[in-house]
Structure formats: C-alpha cells, structure tokens
Structure 1
Amino acid sequence: MPFGYASPEQIMRDKADYARKGIARGRSVVVLQYADGILFVAPNPSRALHKISEIYDRIGFAAVGRYNEFEELRLGGIRYADINGYTYDRSDVTGRGLANLYASNLGRIFTESIKSLEVEVVVAEVGDGPEGDAIYRLTFDGSVFDEHGFAAMGGQAEAVATRLKEAYRDAMPLADALGAALTALTEPGGERPPVNQLEVAVLDRNREHRKFQRLAGPRLDRLINGGAPAPAPAASSDDAPTAPPTGPDGDIDDGSGPL
C-alpha cells in the first residue's frame, strides 16, 4: 500500500463528518407551510448577511452553514432562473428544477473536491393552492428530500424538527405558524430570540406577481404578540391628526436592499 492511502469509503465518511460538524455550528432555520403560503424563520443577528432570500417570483431560498458558500449557490440559482425565464417562459422556472440544479452541483463538489461544501439548503415554491406548495431540502452531498409541511436544518436540527412536529398543524394562520416556528427554535426552558435578531419572510400566494415578502417592524411585533397591536400613546387635543399609513407594515424585499 502506498504511504498515506485511505479507502474511498473512509474519504467519503471523513468529508461527510466534516460537513456535518460545520453545519451543526450554525443556527437552525425553519421552513413551514401556513394557510396562505410558506413561512421562513431564522435567528440571524446580521442585517446584511441574509440566510433567507428570494430566487424568483414564487420561489424562496433558505440556507445554513458557511455564508460565502451558500451565497454562491443562491446567485447561481438566480442566474439559472433568469436565463430560463427569459429564454423560455416564466412558468418554466420551478422549485423542482432549481432543486435538481443544486443537487447536481452539491453532489459533484462532494465527490470530486477535497472539501465538501458546509451548507444545507431549502428551496420552497408556493403554488396557487396548498396542494401546489413544495419544500425541497438539500444536504451537502446532493441528497434531495421532498418535505411535507415543514423542514428544519442546521444547529440541533433533529430536536428542532421534533418540537416543530408537535406544534405544527395544517392550514395554520400566519401568527400561529410563526409561534410554532419560534417554539421549535427555542430550547425548553430558554428564551425566544429577540425580534431584532429574527429574519422572517413569507411566500404569500395572495400577493400579486412577486410572492416573496420580508416581515419586520410593527407587523412582525404584532404577529409574535398574537395579533394584538402595540399600544399607542394617548393623544392630546392639541395634537394634529395623524395621516393614515400609505403602505403595509414591515419591509418588502423590492430587490434594492443588501444581498
């Protein structure tokens, strides 16, 4: 035997263990269906480095692991979607096609490269009805799992998935789905992540054209607090009337924000 020989089976096991350890160091991400679409929830103190993003009109992306690695996958998915939508038709860009692309790239890198990518990815597509929704979870070696109802990845994914299974039910309102996600992400006896350290987004089938929307600010506060609006300060008789709001609460991802 040549010096330093290792069997292919041992090399694959070592690369898989290396990737799993790297992914487990990240914070978990939860993706689940609710009555009007698909919800993404991730503890994330950074306002610039997103773990949840839009890929195309009906397709969202969530990832855990090394940011530089899954950001490259995200950009590749956007290029794939834009080229296929322009060349053929926008309806030809599907979550399944994107999941197949990612699976091919992840599997090739895992097999051919010395180091596998330390990432786990979810591609979600919202349909015209709940039966048309799709959630695909992809692991570092290119394996694809067609999840039904919900998916959890990163960190203590098994424990999070167990808690989410207990709290999840079909056709939940958005506030209930968000509560179930936060319950799953919170260790028993621990405190929920503060609102300013949460990244939350939805694929809302009721929105026109682009279904992706980020939830933040007062709207997210109300959802977490069970739908109750924050108390407003008492107005004096000398106060001028307040103009009505001209747009929805929370931030909408219009493509102009940081990536």
Structure 2
Amino acid sequence: MSTPFYVSPEQLMKDRADFARKGVTRGRPLVALQYADGVLLASENPSQALHKISELYDRIAFAAVGRYNEFENLRIAGVRLADMRGYAYDRRDVTGQGLAGAYAQTLGTIFSSAGEKPYEVELFVAEIGDEASDDKIFRLTYEGMVADEHGFAVMGGNAESVGRYLKEQYAAGGDLAAAVRVAVAALGQSEGETRVIPADDLEVAVLDRTRVQPRKFRRISTGTLRELLGDRGTETPDGDRPEDGEAAGVSMPSSVDRPEDPTDLVSGGTPPLEDPLTGEPPIAPPPEPGQ
C-alpha cells in the first residue's frame, strides 16, 4: 500500500490563497468611495449586460471582482437573504453588516473546504445611512475576511496604483461630480502609465441618500457620466476599443493590446437565476406603501 501524499495545512492554505489571489488581481480594478450624498462604486466594464455593481436592498449595494458566475451566485444569495429577512421581520432589520457577515461565513467555509476550489472573488457591501457618518463600506476577501473601510477602498488589478492615486487626490465630503472624476481617473492608473477610459467602458452606480424613493441605488447612465466627467482629453479611438462581447473575458484577438481579464469570465456557463437547491426564482422585494 502506497503512502498518501502529505501536504501540511499551512502549505495547503497558502496554495489556496495564492490561487484565489491571482484570479482576483488579473481583473480590472473596482473603486468604492464616499462622497457628500452617499457612496459611489465604479469599475471599467465595457459590457452592458454583465454587471459588477448591483443593488442588494433598499440602502445596500453589492460590487465584486472575480469569476462572474461565482460572484453572481453570491449576489443572488444575498438578494434572497435580504428579501426573506425584510419580509419576515422588518425592512430596517436588513443591514449591510448582517449581509457582510453572511458572505464572510460563506466565503470562509468554501475557502477552508478541501472538496472544492476557493472562490476567486472579492466583494464590497456598501450601505448608506441618514447621515454621511452612518455610511459603511465592507470589503470581503476570498478567504472570508471582513474589513470596514473608510473614505475609499480598491480591489482587483492595479489596486496599489489606484489606491496611491486616491490617497493623494481623494477629498472627503465632495459632490458627485468630484467623486466620479477622481474615481474614474484612479481607474486609469497603472505602473508607469495613465489611461483615459472611455465613458462607454465604465460602470458607475451610487447609493444616493437624496433620493425620495426608499430604494437608494441608482446607475449613472453613459450620457450623465460624460457630463460629470467633462473634458478629459482624447479618449481611446473606437477602433482601439474591444467590442462589448469581450467584456465578459471572452478571448480577444491578439491585435488588441490588453491583458487577459478573467474577472468577468463565465466558467461553466451562465449561472441560472433560480436557486440551485430549490429551483425557485429570486424573491422580489415587497412594495412600499404608496410606491
């Protein structure tokens, strides 16, 4: 009888962490930052269909980098959990900290399980309050660690370069236009290079406390984004930009000078919208009275 191959637990965890980290850092960066009226989330994403930034509940948003099918399953699970908790108890009982804790438990369990690979994802769970001091940004890593960020946070590829730029240029308490400009400029930073990202290749959304609706999540359209950004110099010509179909990490021609980005890669096909265990569709939030 042959002796089974032995790997120490420390080495096993290190190998799993290296595997997950490489999958995340090869993707495009994502920025979350606080401004006067809420929280802004921005990323480079030419796709008009596969979103990295989404709504979880009334005042809570979700953003992720990593494998699309993996973080999409996490998003759906978070929406379902929030809907069930809000329906069974009260909508005020659904908090960003509660959802971040649930995500941390799920990611930690998957990371430490020897029966499956770790998720190649990192997440932001953002929540706004009635005042700017009540806003929260939670960052979750692939191994289930949670960090409470203040001011701004970055994850994904080129995170160090983007973070250095934000540390120098970010000013707390600015308006939406200032927040969009500094976030988009930061996304174009890399080692020894500064890019001007076309507005069509950006995905930007906000949690806006000034909205009169209970649901505070709002996507920034391309037209509005161009107005907020103003004159940023010469953008990338249309002929040098990838087609929308390449936003999900589909293999691109070698003539396109762009690093491989598995961040949005759908491995194993697009995940079903229904619960893989029960087969039920996601639960829609109950309507507010008078809405």
The two structures have a TM-score, normalised by structure 2, of: 0.76
Determine if the alignment matches structure 1 residue 221 to structure 2 residue 232: no
Shift of 1:159: 1.9
Determine if the alignment matches structure 1 residue 68 to structure 2 residue 72: no
Match of 1:117 in 2: 119
Match of 1:51 in 2: 52
Determine if the alignment matches structure 1 residue 24 to structure 2 residue 25: yes
* CA RMSD between the two structures: 1.4
User: Any residues of structure 2 matched to 1:152-163 within 5 Å, and which?
Assistant: 152-163=154-165
Match of 1:149 in 2: 151
Could you tell me how far apart the structure 2 residues matched to 1:123 and 1:194 are?
A: 26
Task: Determine helix, strand or coil for the equivalent of 2:142.
Answer: coil
Match of 1:182 in 2: 184
Match of 1:237 in 2: none
Q: Percent identity of the aligned residues?
A: 56
Determine if the alignment matches structure 1 residue 13 to structure 2 residue 14: yes
Could you tell me how far apart the structure 2 residues matched to 1:215 and 1:148 are?
A: 23
Determine if the alignment matches structure 1 residue 201 to structure 2 residue 202: no
Could you tell me how far apart the structure 2 residues matched to 1:217 and 1:157 are?
A: 24
Letter in 2 for 1:23: V
Could you tell me how far apart the structure 2 residues matched to 1:63 and 1:2 are?
A: 42
Could you tell me how far apart the structure 2 residues matched to 1:10 and 1:70 are?
A: 26
Task: Determine helix, strand or coil for the equivalent of 1:47.
Answer: coil
Shift of 1:189: 4.0
Match of 2:275 in 1: none
Worse overlay, 49-58 or 172-181: 172-181
Could you tell me how far apart the structure 1 residues matched to 2:38 and 2:185 are?
A: 20
Task: Determine helix, strand or coil for the equivalent of 1:171.
Answer: coil
User: Any residues of structure 2 matched to 1:159-170 within 5 Å, and which?
Assistant: 159-170=161-172
Could you tell me how far apart the structure 2 residues matched to 1:63 and 1:163 are?
A: 21
Shift of 1:190: 2.4
Match of 2:82 in 1: 81
Task: Determine helix, strand or coil for the equivalent of 1:161.
Answer: helix
Tell me the matched-pair count.
227
Determine if the alignment matches structure 1 residue 210 to structure 2 residue 215: yes
Query: Where do 5+ consecutive residues of structure 1 fail to align?
Result: 227-254
Shift of 1:2: 3.0
Match of 1:33 in 2: 34
Could you tell me how far apart the structure 2 residues matched to 1:189 and 1:67 are?
A: 27
Worse overlay, 155-164 or 52-61: 155-164
Task: Determine helix, strand or coil for the equivalent of 1:104.
Answer: helix
Deviations 1:85-116 (A, max 9, x none): 00000000000000000000000000014410
Match of 1:137 in 2: 139
Higher RCO (CA < 8 A, seq sep 6+): 2
Letter in 2 for 1:152: V
Worse overlay, 215-224 or 81-90: 215-224
Could you tell me how far apart the structure 2 residues matched to 1:189 and 1:110 are?
A: 35
Shift of 1:134: 0.2
Shift of 1:185: 1.0
Shift of 1:3: 3.6
Could you tell me how far apart the structure 1 residues matched to 2:30 and 2:11 are?
A: 30
Task: Determine helix, strand or coil for the equivalent of 2:87.
Answer: helix
Match of 2:175 in 1: 173
